[in-house]
Amino acid sequence: MAKNKEQKKPDMQNVSRLKISMILGYAVIVVAAVAFVSMLAVRKTDTVLKNKVSSMVSSLNVQMKLNMNSYLSRMETIGTLAFAAEEAYTYDATNPDNDEYEALNTEKIISDKLYSLCIMENFVDYGIVYRNNHTVGKISNGTVSMLGENLFSELESIVSRQRTKDGWAAGFQDNFKRVYYVKQIHENALLVISFYATELESVFDNPETLNGMDVRLVNQNYDIIYSSANGEVGLPLVPEIMERIQNQGSATVIDNQYVVSVNSCGDDWNVICAVPTAIILSEKNEMQLYIYMIAFFSALLAVIMGTVLSVKISNPVTDIVTNLDTKAHIDQLTGILNKLSFEEYTQTRLSRSLTIENHALILIDVDNFKGVNDTLGHTYGDKVLSAIGGLMRTTFPEADYLGRVGGDEFAVFVNSLPKDKNMSYQDYVSRKCEELCQGFRNHYTGDDGNYKISASIGVSFFPTHGESFPELYANADKALYFSKHQGKDTFTFFHPELHGQEADTHEKESTSE
């Protein structure tokens, strides 16, 4: 119904807004759900990856601890081989009763044995030091110059295990290049073995699967004996690592910065493996990207499908609402507004109008319509009413409100203005009324086209004749009544005195503009 698009827009806009709200609400719920699930998936991935790496670091740390203990045990075993020669543990170079010749022969036997064992490993020192600082075997100049006159006493201080009478030292005399093993042979003799700390590289082999992991061996003071990171040997353990494992013999710690594992080994030493959490999580970035991509496309697909389903579900509802809206507002016979809707829309428009605006209310009564029904029948009368609706739609512009306000009574609320700016508003309304009257004059009914109808019209103007619908309607009805009594087939503009010559009545002789 083209004439009433403006009136129907609010209802249809409400339906459209409801449809859009449903789609947007569904989209928000889907996106929020997918985002929540994706976030949980990413967090779960982080947790699983951290736990997996933590378990791997812990397992590697245990393995390196075992490797270190095995290495130290092997060094101790090699040391005990020196006692294969009886002279090695019975000879005492500090005994003043030693025969010089026999002492030389005994020391040669011991030295030969020690040198034969020394070449088995890459030892720096492999010999015996006596309390008088006399040495047999391979005792390096570096060790002698480092300890000087206190050679025996300083080396004896390394013996820390009373049961086995031996001990290990790293960072001895602040020398972190060598690792020392000392075993007491008897009261006046010490077996001394040393090797370079770099030999421990074979013990702490870091697998490529944890390329970002640093492996360190520290002494009881947490000074670094060995490190897979360059330049750390001899330095204290970095504080951010120490605060996580200090005073713990066996533990694995995982937080937002590090995964750290520690295990004690050897003579109060600790093997420490540490990997920054950022390096661990960097490996899951590709997986995270895939998760977000899948989530995005899943959400997009869900929104598209939801939109399609919503449209398919809502379209029939929209059609039903549109149909109900049409039936609620439109007179089904004529296709124009029914009485209630015409009054509602007109009153609403008037309430928004300024007093300087021009509007008119036109009431139309079909002359001789009762004769059409009585002569030609009600079915034919309905056809005539339908044709009158078409005539009104043709006569008045889109902006005007058209309504059927009674059985054979019609009304027009004029919203439109003349296109010709030089034409007065009353002349514009007068022309429209004349066009409507002429349309009725041209209309004949019956099979022979011999039954003529006409229109009696009354007009009132806003705001001169009223500012509300009841006022305008009452005054237009008075003008219509006057047209009826003036012989019908004419239109009258309301005037306070509609009797006598003061009435602005347009008789049949009025010509169309």
Q: Closest Cα partner for 190 from 227, 139, 148?
A: 139
pLDDT of residue 284: 61
Q: Closest Cα partner for 363 from 318, 414, 313?
A: 414
How far, in Å, CA of 369 to CA of 440, rounded? Answer: 12
Structure tokens at 505: 């009545």
pLDDT at 511 over 70: no
How far, in Å, CA of 361 to CA of 402, rounded? Answer: 10
Q: Closest Cα partner for 134 from 121, 144, 124?
A: 144
Q: Closest Cα partner for 375 from 469, 304, 282, 446?
A: 446
Q: Sketch out the chain's domains with CATH numbers.
A: 1-329 (3.30.450.20), 339-506 (3.30.70.270)
* pLDDT band at residue 312 using 50, 70 and 90 as cut-offs: low
pLDDT of residue 208: 57
Structure tokens at 322: 């549109």
**Range with the poorest average pLDDT among 54-68, 173-187, 404-418, 456-470:** 54-68
pLDDT of 317-331, one tens digit each? 555 555 545 556 888
* pLDDT band at residue 81 using 50, 70 and 90 as cut-offs: confident
pLDDT of residue 13: 63
pLDDT of 410-444, one tens digit each? 999 999 999 998 999 999 999 999 999 999 988 88
Handedness of CA 236, 238, 239, 245 (dihedral sign): negative
Exposure on the CB side of residue 65, measured as CA atoms within 13 A: 21
pLDDT of residue 323: 52
How far, in Å, CA of 238 to CA of 116, rounded? Answer: 42
The pairing of strands 451-452 and 454-462 is: unpaired
pLDDT at 290 over 80: no
**Range with the poorest average pLDDT among 34-38, 210-214, 271-275, 406-410:** 34-38
Residues 366, 455 contacting (CB under 8 angstroms)? yes
pLDDT of residue 157: 94
Which residues neighbour 323 within 8 Å (Cβ) at sequence distance 6 or greater? none
* pLDDT band at residue 505 using 50, 70 and 90 as cut-offs: very low
Residue type at 410 in one-letter notation: F
In three-state secondary structure terms, 337 is strand
Q: Please give the C-alpha separations between residue 26 and each of 29, 310, 421, in angstroms, as whole numbers.
A: 5, 9, 52
How far, in Å, CA of 108 to CA of 106, rounded? Answer: 5
Mean pLDDT of 277-295: 69
State the Rg of the chain over Cα.
56
pLDDT of residue 376: 87
Q: Point out which residues pair with 250 in neighbouring strands.
A: 263
pLDDT of 142-173, one tens digit each? 999 999 999 999 999 999 988 999 999 988 98
pLDDT of residue 83: 84
Which residues neighbour 199 within 8 Å (Cβ) at sequence distance 6 or greater? 122, 179
pLDDT of residue 318: 56
pLDDT of residue 59: 86
pLDDT of 108-121, one tens digit each? 998 888 888 877 67
pLDDT of 355-380, one tens digit each? 889 999 999 999 989 888 888 889 89
pLDDT at 2 over 70: no
Which residues neighbour 170 within 8 Å (Cβ) at sequence distance 6 or greater? 176, 179, 180, 197, 217, 219, 225, 269
pLDDT of residue 445: 82
First to last CA, the chain: 28
This prediction has a pTM of 0.53
Q: Is 319 exposed, middle or buried (0-12, 13-18, 19+ CB in 10 A)?
A: exposed
pLDDT of residue 510: 37
In three-state secondary structure terms, 143 is helix
